[in-house]
Structure 1
Amino acid sequence: MTDPRYPAKPRPGDRVAVLSPSAGLPELFPQPYELGLRRLREEFGLEPVEYPTTRKMGATPRERAADLHAAFADPEIKAVIASIGGDDQITLLPHLDADLLRANPKPFFGYSDNTNLLLHLRSLGLVAYHGGSVMVELGRPGAMNPLTAESLRAALFTSGEYELTAAGASGDVNGPWDDPRTFDAEPDLEPAGGWAWHNADRVVEGDGWGGNLEILSWLLMADRAVRPVEEYAGGVLFLETSEDMPSARDVYWILRNMGERGLLRQFPAFLMGRAKSWSFEKRFDAEERERYRREQREAVLRALGEYAPDTMAVFDVDLGHTDPQIVIPVGGRIRVDGPARRIFVTY
């Protein structure tokens, strides 16, 4: 596979597309969405441009694909940012025009269900960006998390190497978006224990590949946006789990099956996101959250021990469904320095 291309970056004052390639949740929850748009304008200096399905729940995959094509084909649009995720973006992939996307590269930002598009763009030879949704990170109550804002700004506007910073505090518990009081103050954070390292005896530098674990499992089942495993040799795998909070058993099963496919052993380094350990359906207390995160880590280590025992792993990296959230380049370079306990990405 050829080296991926970094699309040209926007500049302050440029127009950027805001799309809903998964769910049109801005229709149901306008407050975090409008807040995210305002911050794009006022704090990042960008002009968001909406499309017919951006605020439309129930849009068909073909309609959402048409908006994506329109945004990529428009020379005035300098980046594409997802409003939020969802659960059916995989149905969008058959409607995408690979030649159009490849001929009009744009930085694309999103995560969760947007793992579908991120890995699709990577399969076309383009670098994309895992992180930075309008409704969640830009629309965070009170203010953007400073670490999130710093990473997103660097990924949007700059090139070159960026060092990740381990968060001193992180948050799991969210307020309901349909209650205006949610937006009166920032979410509560609790002390974070930093990163945990495994097999940290070398330096690994390679292209990043991965995303949300649950969505990746669907892509593997459907055999979409995944290249032959040998093409990932030497890369850096990164994974994270969502507010669906899969059990440790399910996490192990997914990784086991990736191991059986020969995927895990291709990656000499692996970043695992800090597990999302609270949802409205599973309102865990502090002790339950810690147990959930510990059991997930043990499941990952079990799979690595069986299928990739030499892989260097870093746990509790603030990527994915985390607060703060660091943007990770899909297809971009990642350098994991085990002896120095440092991680760098190239935006």
Structure 2
Amino acid sequence: MKTSVYPPKPVPGDRIAVISPSSGLPGILPLPYELGLRRLRADFGLEPVEYPATRRMGSTPQERADDIHAAFADPTIKAVMASIGGDDQITVLPLLDRELIRAHPKPFFGTSDNTNLLMLLHNLGIVGYHGACLMTEIGRPYALHPMTADSVRAALFTSGPYELRAPERFGDSGRDWADPETFRVEPDSEPADGWIWHRPERVVEGRSWGGNIEILSWLLMADREIDRDPAAYDGGVLFLETSEELPAAEEVFYILRSMGERGLLARFPALLMGRAKAWSFDKPNGPEAKRRYVVEQREAVLRALAAYAPQTMAVFDVDLGHTDPQVVIPYGGTVRVDGPARRITVTY
């Protein structure tokens, strides 16, 4: 797998770009967005800088590309954070000036649809950070989750190893972001059972690659940002997560099967599978339906591994995606998965 370099880190007092490479939801749902801006200042000591399309729903791909260019080219901006995800960032990729971005490497934070930009940065040799969208994590109702805040702070300001921990509780449901009352109470949570390990007989250390599995499937279909030589991913740590769209277990299997048929899946000796989000406003599953969804997704992943990567070690229910709390995963950075010790360490 190609080597990526870690871009210089910001320090408190620096300016951080806040952009919307996908959806302009800050313009429609300002409460979590404004709260996120306040917390960047108060909790992290950073000065957020907005761009023309940050609060604009329906902005064109070119307008969003222009914001990305401006954020990376400005020497006073020391990090870049996405406001939220979306579903069409793939249309922005062809418009990006790769040499401009390569010449001005900066830490970029985002999840979900931001898998697009994270993968582009990886292909430019720049480590990105899968985690910490402004509205979802930094603008979390009531208070920052302590585990999220600790991971984000470490990824933003420090370099070196950071050991992930499994939470005692997690949240999987939400309330209306348009209602001020949502932000006056702690989000609901439920007990977490810890990570589930599959084939934990060895230690794997490698560069991370992956992201949101639905976005990854679109990139595969469009033949964008994916190396055509599967050997380019040899020895890496694959990490995957699913979104609030709640893709069916069979769909997850089909995507992994396609990766297997392409020769990709077996290249990764370790897989970190994010805790499956099992509730959404469109599908407000109860406890039994949520449990069934999670089990069926895990079985689908194991079925794909059995067929295409039987030696791959896997860890399920890592809080790296559409989860609360959420840990930041360096994209293209070093991840160590110690099966015998049941430990996961990332390098920020």
How high is the TM-score relative to the length of structure 2? 0.99
- The aligned counterpart of 1:67 is 67
Query: SS of 2:238's equivalent?
Result: strand
- The aligned counterpart of 2:160 is 160
Q: Counterparts in 2 of 1:1-347, with a 5 A limit?
A: 2-227=2-227, 228-347=229-348
Query: SS of 1:197's equivalent?
Result: strand
Cα distance in 2 for residues equivalent to 1:49 and 1:139: 16
Cα distance in 2 for residues equivalent to 1:204 and 1:302: 21
- Residue 2 of structure 1 and its aligned partner are, at CA, apart by 4.2
- Residue 181 of structure 1 and its aligned partner are, at CA, apart by 1.1
- Residue 162 of structure 1 and its aligned partner are, at CA, apart by 0.3
What do you get for the CA RMSD once the two structures are aligned? 0.6
Deviations 1:197-219 (A, max 9, x none): 00000000000000000000000
Partner amino acid, structure 2, of 1:52:
P
Deviations 1:294-319 (A, max 9, x none): 00000000000000000000000001
Cα distance in 2 for residues equivalent to 1:176 and 1:279: 11
Identity %: 69
Partner amino acid, structure 2, of 1:279:
S
Gaps of 5+ in 1: none
How many residues are aligned here? 347
Cα distance in 1 for residues equivalent to 2:137 and 2:264: 31
Partner amino acid, structure 2, of 1:288:
A
How high is the TM-score relative to the length of structure 1? 0.99
Cα distance in 1 for residues equivalent to 2:192 and 2:289: 15
Partner amino acid, structure 1, of 2:32:
P
8 Å CA contact 1:108–1:129 kept in 2: the answer is yes
Cα distance in 2 for residues equivalent to 1:255 and 1:174: 29
Cα distance in 1 for residues equivalent to 2:232 and 2:121: 15
Query: SS of 1:209's equivalent?
Result: strand
- Residue 72 of structure 1 and its aligned partner are, at CA, apart by 0.2
8 Å CA contact 2:2–2:232 kept in 1: the answer is no
8 Å CA contact 1:4–1:126 kept in 2: the answer is yes
Deviations 1:100-137 (A, max 9, x none): 01000000000000000000110111100000011010
Deviations 1:152-194 (A, max 9, x none): 0000000000000001100101001111111111111100000
- Residue 229 of structure 1 and its aligned partner are, at CA, apart by 1.4
Query: SS of 1:310's equivalent?
Result: coil
Cα distance in 2 for residues equivalent to 1:118 and 1:40: 21
Cα distance in 1 for residues equivalent to 2:141 and 2:132: 15
Query: SS of 2:120's equivalent?
Result: helix
- Residue 287 of structure 1 and its aligned partner are, at CA, apart by 1.1
Query: SS of 1:259's equivalent?
Result: helix
Cα distance in 2 for residues equivalent to 1:31 and 1:2: 40
8 Å CA contact 1:269–1:336 kept in 2: the answer is yes
4+ aligned runs moved over 4 Å, structure 1: none
8 Å CA contact 2:211–2:240 kept in 1: the answer is yes
8 Å CA contact 1:140–1:186 kept in 2: the answer is no
Cα distance in 1 for residues equivalent to 2:298 and 2:242: 12
Gaps of 5+ in 2: none
Cα distance in 2 for residues equivalent to 1:106 and 1:80: 7
Deviations 1:270-289 (A, max 9, x none): 00000000000100011111
Cα distance in 2 for residues equivalent to 1:134 and 1:2: 29
